[in-house]
Structure 1
């Protein structure tokens, strides 16, 4: 038996890289960040994600019911209550995943993982918010809003515990969370929800969620252990199929919604409701550019930072606003 030749410098480098891939990434928890407990709790509540809760105005806006102080007050209250429920889920999720986050290449900077927010405190604050938000909704709004918030909390906590590890179900749960945001404003104000509104909103959300997963899968290809474990079970081809299918259904649903005749005669100078289909389709096509590139991993960044998409969105809002006002 011949003795193995010593490794050259380049070979040693390659061997070290292979050993690192074979060994799970371990990261020592960094020292707690300055700013105190309150700032840590606020960071854990993910303020950047609160923009999603603006969807609570979707149903009232579609019905043209945004022009009274009572409506705006109710919607502001619903926004705060939904944000509190989402914050409760984030706090409980981070407390539950603290040990795993400490070994994650990016999540080890989270306040609970670093110790800035103690695990019992995260559980306690999350639990208080999870109880108080539906209770306040039952007292200040309606039982339907309280029931929807309770259902949202139950579904999201089940997602944190187990559903995020189930193929397809994870996509459905996240999509349903967006749909609940769009529904709750209508429930708070007693506005009937159109079937086309629900279809467009639901599949539009699925389009963005599956595009996000697709982008994560593309960007993290070959980096096992640095992203969601479930992504290794999806194929990029399957996720591409899902976001393309969802985009098509969302466009079809919106077109049928825009062409649907309402109970009020149309006296507008132009058919703004029907013309808004053009802006909606352009917005979907523009967003699909980022999805196809695999750069739609942060939907809020795509929507807020792309000037062309923002312009199309403003045009769509203007057209739909003119349609609602019957100008």
Structure 2
């Protein structure tokens, strides 16, 4: 009579063993890896994506940055496990729910972070390795302390996006335009502040149990930040687009200037979700909203035409 019970327990143990690596993968946030595609932003702007050598370097940088970001997510979830258990959604995260033990999350995060830093030092130029190390240090400081400092928390998260966009150019030795840095930096701040605003609206009345800092921001302030950042990003992009005047000789249309229209439409479309408090998951807004996707494709086509002087 006991043999069937013993037989039934074997698949259960096997499933439990598989749940841990699956939980580690979920904690590494595969859906967030799309953000690391920003490493191609600077090379794309400079028209440096055509060679296999450049593509190989960017693929390496993408992989290293993904490992570094995954390390930060693992450490962050290990530190926030108790707070996440009070959140209606975050309580289901593998570390908060107990699928992945906290010590294991710390160990996996440390291994990934150290491995990414050492690989960057061995395989990339010194500036790329230094930038990746700086990203790790900054994000770990954010997990430990900076996420609790008003305004600084917004700046650190936005700077993380900017570093993604910068590191691709650094890896290929591409000089970075001041307008590129301004537009990317304020564009990142726009999305970060919109995300925080959406979280503040959604968690109104819950006493900020899962993110104490949200109770110290008012929705009005966060709205002001994302509106200011959106305006600064649009201004920076317009100055970049208009800097060279008309289109180059032999081009069909002034694609650089025309791309301003698509860029502004994309910002306005995203602002619809920000204003509703529905931009809490930027990757969902970008990937699932069809009109925004169409605008993005049109903008990318115009941008490509401008880079290629078509």
Fold similarity call, TM over 0.5 = yes
| Residue number in structure 1 paired with 2:179 | 196
Structure 1 residue 37, shift from structure 2 partner:
1.9
- Within the alignment, does 1:236 sit opposite 2:257 as a pair? no
Is contact 2:256-2:306 (8 Å) kept? Answer: yes
| Residue number in structure 2 paired with 1:108 | 91
Q: Deviations over 1:3-23 (max 9, x none)?
A: xxxxxxxxxxxxxxxxxxxxx
Q: How does 1:136-155 map to 2 (within 5 A)?
A: 136-155=119-138
Say which of 83, 89, 114 aligns to 2:72: 89
| Residue number in structure 2 paired with 1:297 | 280
- Within the alignment, does 1:175 sit opposite 2:158 as a pair? yes
Q: Deviations over 1:210-269 (max 9, x none)?
A: 01111111122112245421111111111111111111110010011111229x954311
| Residue number in structure 1 paired with 2:49 | 66
Q: Distance in 2 between matches of 1:146 and 1:324?
A: 28
| Residue number in structure 2 paired with 1:17 | none
Is contact 1:50-1:83 (8 Å) kept? Answer: yes
| Residue number in structure 1 paired with 2:207 | 224
Unaligned runs of 5+ in 1: 1-31
Structure 1 residue 106, shift from structure 2 partner:
2.7
Give the structure with the larger helix fraction: 2
Range 212-221 or range 172-181, more displaced: 212-221
Is contact 1:105-1:226 (8 Å) kept? Answer: no
Aligned residues: 295
Q: Deviations over 1:74-133 (max 9, x none)?
A: 111101000000011111112222233334433222212233222222111111111111
- 4+ aligned runs moved over 4 Å, structure 1: none
Structure 1 residue 58, shift from structure 2 partner:
0.3
Unaligned runs of 5+ in 2: 1-14
Q: Distance in 1 between matches of 2:306 and 2:208?
A: 49
| Residue number in structure 1 paired with 2:238 | 255
| Residue number in structure 1 paired with 2:11 | none
Q: Distance in 1 between matches of 2:209 and 2:303?
A: 42
When normalised by structure 2's length, the TM-score is 0.91
Q: Distance in 2 between matches of 1:239 and 1:218?
A: 10
